[in-house]
Structure 1
């Protein structure tokens, strides 16, 4: 890791990234793509050393809303255990009466459960968890340096029982690897059992760009010999890499989520994440 200084911390849509880079090692990660202009090794995480001070200043002057993180870097990377930047951010979000949402694959979020509950009582929290495979052994290949799917499901259970709503990212689904009916149905079982409010699924497949394509292919060679050549033959240098099972799997996804009352349209899920209880904020304000 190394420290950098940032000019701002919140985007115009109230998103933030406290870290840049990641050590989870997910073989498909789009954040490795050259388009994002990262000028350091992906695993050498850049820590925005002035982010907490910036966040405090920006929260003081912004209208109350949901603050989001995790779009580019999982906020609960291992170094968060001792740096505690997310924890400090949550303390400020609670103090100033904002809501919070994040995308993660890590059970480290449970360290902050009590604080998340306090924010949820005062305003609103939604935790987003990524699930790609129901098979822990395969998970250890696809996402080697983060807790397995079974543990993430336990996190969903704990959050459900704590009254904190959740959303699942059902992606990416890698052609010829995890694009099976058995896998999709198992993940949907987890989602239904744990009362998730919505599921992001932009289709069964993944995206590849310069930067992440090379890394992904190197991992295919390491763990799935011969599959890289199949990808190159079928998809060339395409950005969108759809599963040949997309239609069947999306049919299963739409049918089961609709029957369970789970939001399955990306627009509706994004809208759900952005909702901020303005009226309840006025009555819960304790600053």
Structure 2
């Protein structure tokens, strides 16, 4: 871990990455790709130590309230966050200046900040997004070795439900010949239905691999799934898109389930929901 004084914090679409790099160890991680030009070792977490100060300056200058996002590239709840509390400090600022928040994580450390998320949601809007890939916790410990299990993430979603905080699940990636089964999909979808998630983001049944992430993924396959990397090379070569042979059947099951339980699953609608901050106060004045 190392610290930097960043020059800015919010992207053009009001997203922020307080940390850069990750120690979760997910074997499929796209953020390892060389196209992102990371100048340090991926596990050597870069910490934007002045993130709260930069965020406060940015929020003060905005004329219109909006959703502030975090977690698109790097999880806002790295283990270091437990001590540093930079994500918490930023959420406190979002609540103070009455903006909305949409965060994405795989960590149950988000429960520490459920009080602030509740406060944000009461006055504006807060959305917690969790990633689901693998229903079986033993398999999850191989695919995502240094982060809480899927069953624990489900518990996080249930706690959010109790507080009335809306949730969205990222059902991605689904790894060919590893977790691309109907049993895995149905188990994850049942979690989503019980937790009352607002929507599920899914880019199809498969994964994508770029230079950098591909090498790491194949190395993990060699370690945990003997012979599977050779099969990938034969079938997919250096392709970016790695679709499951079960994609059609699984996507049909996915759509059928979401329609049955009223879960939003059109990606454009899901992203629209994440970015949209309703004019609550104008709506209240109507009545």
TM-score exceeds 0.5: yes
- 1:61 is matched with 61
Find the aligned partners of 2:282 and 2:166 in 1 and give their Cα distance.
18
Q: Structure 1, residues 90-147: CA drift from partner, whole Å, max 9, x if none?
A: 1100000000011100000000011110111011001000010110000000000000
Q: Which residue of 1 aligns with 2:46?
A: 46
Q: Per-residue deviation at 1:282?
A: 9.2
What residue number does 1:278 align with? 279
- In structure 1, stretches of 5+ residues that fail to align are none
Q: For residue 89 of structure 2, what is the aligned residue in structure 1? A: 88
Q: Does 1:37 align with 2:37?
A: yes
Q: Secondary structure at the match of 1:127?
A: strand
Q: Does 1:186 align with 2:193?
A: no
The within-5 A match list for 1:212-227 is 212-227=213-228
Paired position in structure 2 for 1:265: 266
1:198–1:269 CA contact under 8 A, matched in 2: yes
Distance 1:231 1:4 in 2: 39
Cα distance in structure 2, aligned partners of 1:17 and 1:38: 13
Q: Does 1:18 align with 2:18?
A: yes
Matches of 2:234 and 2:8 in 1, distance apart?
44
Q: Deviations over 1:31-67 (max 9, x none)?
A: 0000000010000000112211110100001121010
| Equivalent residue number for residue 4 of structure 1 | 4
- Which residue of 2 is the match for residue 170 of structure 1? 171
SS for the counterpart of 1:199 is strand
SS of the equivalent of 2:75 reads coil
Provide Cα deviations, 1:211-236, integer angstroms capped at 9, x if missing partner: 00000000000000100000000000
Structure 2: runs of 5+ lacking an equivalent: none
Aligned residues: 284
Tell me which stretches of 4 or more aligned residues in structure 1 moved more than 4 Å.
281-284
CA–CA distance in structure 1, aligned partners of residues 280 and 111 of structure 2: 28
Equivalent positions of 1:108-187 (< 5 A) are: 108-187=109-188
User: Once structures 1 and 2 are overlaid, which stretch shifts more, 57-66 or 27-36?
Assistant: 57-66
The equivalences for 1:202-221 within 5 A come to 202-221=203-222
Query: Match for residue 197 of structure 2?
Result: 196
Q: 1: distance between equivalents of 2:39 and 2:284?
A: 46
- Residues 258 and 282 of structure 1, relative CA distance in 2, 3 Å threshold: closer
Kept in 2, the 8 Å contact 1:122–1:281? The answer is no
* Contact persistence 1:201–1:264 (CA under 8 A): yes
